[in-house]
Amino acid sequence: MSIITKDLCKNYGDQIAVNNLNIAIKEGEIVGFLGPNGAGKSTTMKMLTGYIPPSKGEGSVCGWDIVDDSLAIRKIVGYLPEHNPLYLDMYVREFLEFAGKMGGVSQTQKRVGEVIDLTGLDREKHKKIGQLSKGYRQRVGLAQAIIHDPDVLILDEPTGGLDPNQVIEIRELIKKLGKTTLLSTHIMQEVEAVCTRVVIIDKGNLVADSPIEKLANITGEKHHVNATFGSAINVKELSQLDEVIHVTDKGNNRYRIEVSSAEGRKSISHFALKNNLEVMELSSENVSLEQVFQNLTKHVDHL
């Protein structure tokens, strides 16, 4: 286990930012850390990187305690803070050399060259950071996070405020690095594209922790299959199939079928074959992560 938290809590005065958080991240996993604004994502990350201590509970990164072994953790963790703070009046190379030396890199020059290649900063390396566009700044932020070849990456909104191309590039980069990664984001597609697992918190509480494929099951999202047949079918007969829960006739031989599992499509196809029906369309409706996210984190507003 690379990252473990046990009943991790953080209060700011009366306000509870993180409440009894228990997560465990295995080596090599890329975990998406989701939650509405102010859910406690950044606070959790700050605790994991040793910037602030937890109010209660404990956590560890690669076996090191986040309070007692803070210095050891800082050696093996690459951290990209929220809003990506950088020294704007430093040159890219200069800054990365500084970050490398701070991170205890022995052959700084060589490593800086490697990281510049890796993050695609080659054309910008002689510019001042203040002159760079947001996307390139984000790359510099990422470059400083990976410069000491950390085992674990903790990235707080690595793609925030970037254009779609840049977002994809940064994602590719994160995937290419292949490190144990905890990344926070608001973008659901990002999670689907990069992460193997997703952890969702809301108001400091853990509301979901599961592999992406299984996330839909948690909220009890219904599976729907859209089918169009060549001719009208016997709705009653179809409804009697084990997996089929409900059939809605949408006219023109189109049907929306609620099924109990994703496997439902198979039995519908069997049914069509058996009855010599022409199948024009048979597709599962994808449960969107957005939907799941909304269901998990929506609040009943008492107005």
Partner 1 sequence: MATGLFMWVLEGSTVFDLGLASMLVMFQLAPYILIFLVPAITMRSFSDEKKYGTLELLVTKPVSELNIILGKYLASLSLVIIAILPTLIYYYSIYQLGAPAGNIDTGAMWGSYFGLILLAACYTSVGLFCSSLTENQIVALISSMALCFLFYQVLGLFGEIQWLNTVGKSLRWFGLDYHYYSISRGVIDTRDVLYFLGFSAFFVVSTKLVFQSRKW
Which spans of this chain sit near partner 1 (rule: CB under 8 A)? 46, 49-53, 71-72, 74-75, 77, 79, 81-83, 85-88, 99, 102-104, 144, 148
Q: Please, what is the minimum distance in Å from the beta carbon of residue 212 to partner 1?
A: 29
Ordered strands of the 279-284 beta sheet: 244-249, 254-259, 223-229, 279-284
The secondary structure of the chain in percent helix, strand, coil, rounded to multiples of 5, reads 35, 30, 35
Q: Which is nearer to partner 1, 82 or 192 (CB)?
A: 82
Residue 285's identity, in one-letter code, is: E
Residue 289's identity, in one-letter code, is: L
Q: Which is nearer to partner 1, 63 or 230 (CB)?
A: 63
How far is it, in rounded angstroms, from Cα 150 to Cα 179? 8
Q: Which is nearer to partner 1, 79 or 271 (CB)?
A: 79
How far is it, in rounded angstroms, from Cα 223 to Cα 19? 33
Q: Please, what is the minimum distance in Å from the beta carbon of residue 49 to partner 1?
A: 5
Q: Please, what is the minimum distance in Å from the beta carbon of residue 76 to partner 1?
A: 9
Q: Which is nearer to partner 1, 35 or 150 (CB)?
A: 150
Which tokens belong to 64? 């090191």
Q: Please, what is the minimum distance in Å from the beta carbon of residue 219 to partner 1?
A: 35
Which tokens belong to 12? 């700011």
How far is it, in rounded angstroms, from Cα 34 to Cα 184? 6
C-alpha neighbours within 13 Å on the C-beta side of residue 134? 11
Q: Which is nearer to partner 1, 44 or 49 (CB)?
A: 49
Q: Please, what is the minimum distance in Å from the beta carbon of residue 23 to partner 1?
A: 20
Give the number of other CB atoms < 10 A from CB of residue 274: 9
Q: Please, what is the minimum distance in Å from the beta carbon of residue 40 to partner 1?
A: 17
Give the number of other CB atoms < 10 A from CB of residue 147: 27
Q: Which is nearer to partner 1, 98 or 166 (CB)?
A: 98
